[in-house]
Amino acid sequence: MGCIVSRRAFLAAATAALARAQNLAKDANTFSTDVKVVSVLAMVRDKQGKIVTNLTKDDFDLSEDGRPQTIKYFSRETDLPLTLGLLVDTSGSQRQVLGEERSASREFIEKVLREDRDQTFLIHFDKDTELLQDLTASRAKLEKAIDLLELPPDQRPQLSRRGSGYPEGGNAGGAGDPGGRGGGARGRGARTTLYDAILLASDELMRKRQGRKALVVLTDGVDRGSKVPLTEAIESAQKADTLVYSVYFAGQFQQQPFSGGGLGGRRGGRGRFPQQTQRERPDGRKILEQISRETGGGFFEVTKKLPIDQIYTRIEEELRSQYSLGFTSDKQDSSGGFRRIALTAKPKGMIVQTRQGYYPSTS
């Protein structure tokens, strides 16, 4: 009799334990689905400017809006797929350096793009923002698109790309679309749609991509007529978790008075810089420094001592020397808009380069 009771008790206990295990598994699945992980890519340099690659998770402190956060995921990322966008300014002020940009860009793609895992696209912008080559892993296609940069605008084939991220239902500014994003600028003098190009690349091409994402922008930093302001361009890159590397060319018109519209184009008053007067010219250097700083990328200026091919080598080195950190915010709702993050390295003299914050996902 006692043996039967013991057996019944054992079976009852085993059944209860199984039910608890099933409930725990269900809770774990619910937790992993509901909790949103914030990913942060960072690059660290020492006092001498050398990249540091031997830090561990315990060497970092992370906070969100001043509240300490726990780093739950950590790795050194050199092998994650890379999505890279090249954004080239083809306006009049940059015409003299297009040849240099073409040759360096071709070499950069040859060195960086791994055809088995990485993808790259090419956008040019002047009075229009146009996608010359959609995402591809083919170096041959990219090199062919790079060759198009020096063609006269009316001889370039345009590949427009539509999406919901543009005011008034615009697109990438493809030819034959006078109501689109770039077409509206036709016939109104020299224009440079830098902010539109960053928004297009971030919203339409980067947002749904996973892994490491970066834009390399070659320009003098002066926007003349985008339909979105600087703040919106930066926000689009932040929401797409995309680093922006700025390569600053002081074009041939850099010292001339500015005769275009404000920094934000049609809605320039919303930008972070004051509206420019007829005789003032926006400081392209400061604009590009801000874009790169707020998105976690880097700023470089082309000089005789630092030509563009060396800059591309430095960008490649940074992209291959990143730390990947992940945390779950202690504030799990998506309210409050932009959240500022601060990532620091504990060893003295270390300088951390990363984005300044993020927008919580609402999905």
Cα separation, 223 vs 119, in Å, equals 27
Of 38, 37, 43, 78, residue with least CA distance to 345: 43
The mean pLDDT value for 205-223 works out to 93
The mean pLDDT value for 183-195 works out to 61
Of 280, 265, 128, residue with least CA distance to 200: 128
Per-residue pLDDT tens digits for 322-356: 999 999 999 888 777 899 999 999 999 999 999 99
Phi, psi of 326 (to 5 degrees): -135, 140
The answer to whether 186 touches 153, Cβ cutoff 8 Å, is no
Residue 108, pLDDT score: 87
Phi, psi of 162 (to 5 degrees): -95, 155
pTM of the model: 0.74
Question: Is 80 exceeded by the pLDDT of residue 223?
Answer: yes
* Mean pLDDT rounded to a whole number for the chain: 78
Question: Is 70 exceeded by the pLDDT of residue 182?
Answer: no
Q: What is the largest CA-CA distance in the chain?
A: 103
Of 232, 90, 209, 108, residue with least CA distance to 158: 90
Other Cβ atoms closer than 10 A to 27? 10
Per-residue pLDDT tens digits for 256-286: 443 333 333 333 333 444 444 444 667 999 9
The mean pLDDT value for 295-307 works out to 93
Residue 272, pLDDT score: 42
Cα separation, 42 vs 324, in Å, equals 7
More confident residue, 156 or 44: 44
Of 312, 273, 362, 335, residue with least CA distance to 111: 312
Question: Is 50 exceeded by the pLDDT of residue 230?
Answer: yes
pLDDT-derived band of residue 80, with 50, 70 and 90 as boundaries? confident
The answer to whether 80 touches 116, Cβ cutoff 8 Å, is no
The mean pLDDT value for 21-50 works out to 67
Question: Is 90 exceeded by the pLDDT of residue 300?
Answer: yes
Residue 12, pLDDT score: 58
Other Cβ atoms closer than 10 A to 321? 16
Between 30-39, 186-195, 217-226, the lowest mean confidence (pLDDT) is in 30-39
> Which regions of 7-81 does DSSP assign to beta strands (E)?
37-45, 51-52, 60-64, 67-69, 73-77
**Tokens linked to 36:** 């949103």
Residue 357, pLDDT score: 93
Of 215, 213, 289, 217, residue with least CA distance to 247: 217
Question: Is 90 exceeded by the pLDDT of residue 189?
Answer: no
What SS3 string covers 174-213? Answer: CCCCCCCCCHHHCCCCCCECHHHHHHHHHHHHHCCCCCEE
DSSP state of 328: E
The answer to whether 160 touches 172, Cβ cutoff 8 Å, is yes
Residue 7, pLDDT score: 55
Residue 267, pLDDT score: 36
CATH superfamily name and code, 82-319:
von Willebrand factor, type A domain (3.40.50.410)
The mean pLDDT value for 223-236 works out to 95
Cα separation, 123 vs 219, in Å, equals 12
